[in-house]
């Protein structure tokens, strides 16, 4: 019984993530309270939600324990939902960054291709200029021989 009270007390002290929670835990608890008032304790109390000691404590303690357990589970669910939303948002951001990076990559590939073709063009012009220069040098040498 003392252990149960500690669990209930600890469950009440659990912090709730304010930015990600909704009032669903309060709604769920109120629904359970209404069902309990109408029909007593549910038949499923003998499953592993309340251990063997559960039969030795009173109905009010069982209800408090179940409410605390529900509250903790709801907070865990809210935390997981919040984490999911953050991960989904991060995923969307990464997808948009990937798209921008792919577009940048495509643009740079086109630029590289253009520069490569320009480099080839300039290599051809340099080769032609070298051939012309060699021809002119030979002509100069020939003219110098004529002058001598």
Tokens 């012009």, located at residue: 125
Residue 106 has which token pair?
């495509």
Average pLDDT over residues 101-116: 97
pLDDT of residue 48: 53
Residues above pLDDT 90, as percent of the chain: 53
Predicted model pTM: 0.47
Long-range contacts: 67-70, Cβ < 8 Å, 24+?
67/8, 67/29, 67/32, 68/7, 68/8, 68/10, 68/11, 68/12, 69/7, 69/11, 70/25, 70/28, 70/29, 70/32
pLDDT of residue 57: 73
């Amino acid at each position: 019984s003392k252990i149960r009270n500690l669990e209930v007390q600890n469950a009440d002290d659990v912090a709730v993530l304010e930015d990600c929670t909704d009032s669903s835990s309060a709604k769920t608890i109120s629904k359970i309270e209404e069902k309990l008032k109408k029909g007593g304790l549910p038949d499923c109390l003998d499953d592993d939600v309340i251990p063997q000691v559960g039969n030795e404590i009173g109905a009010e303690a069982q209800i408090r324990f179940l409410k605390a357990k529900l509250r903790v589970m709801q907070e865990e669910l809210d935390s997981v939902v919040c984490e999911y939303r953050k991960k989904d948002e991060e995923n969307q951001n990464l997808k948009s960054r990937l798209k921008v990076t792919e577009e940048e990559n495509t643009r740079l590939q086109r630029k590289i291709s253009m520069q490569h073709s320009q480099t080839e063009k300039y290599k051809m012009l340099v080769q032609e200029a070298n051939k012309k220069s060699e021809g002119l040098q030979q002509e100069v040498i020939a003219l110098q021989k004529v002058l001598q």
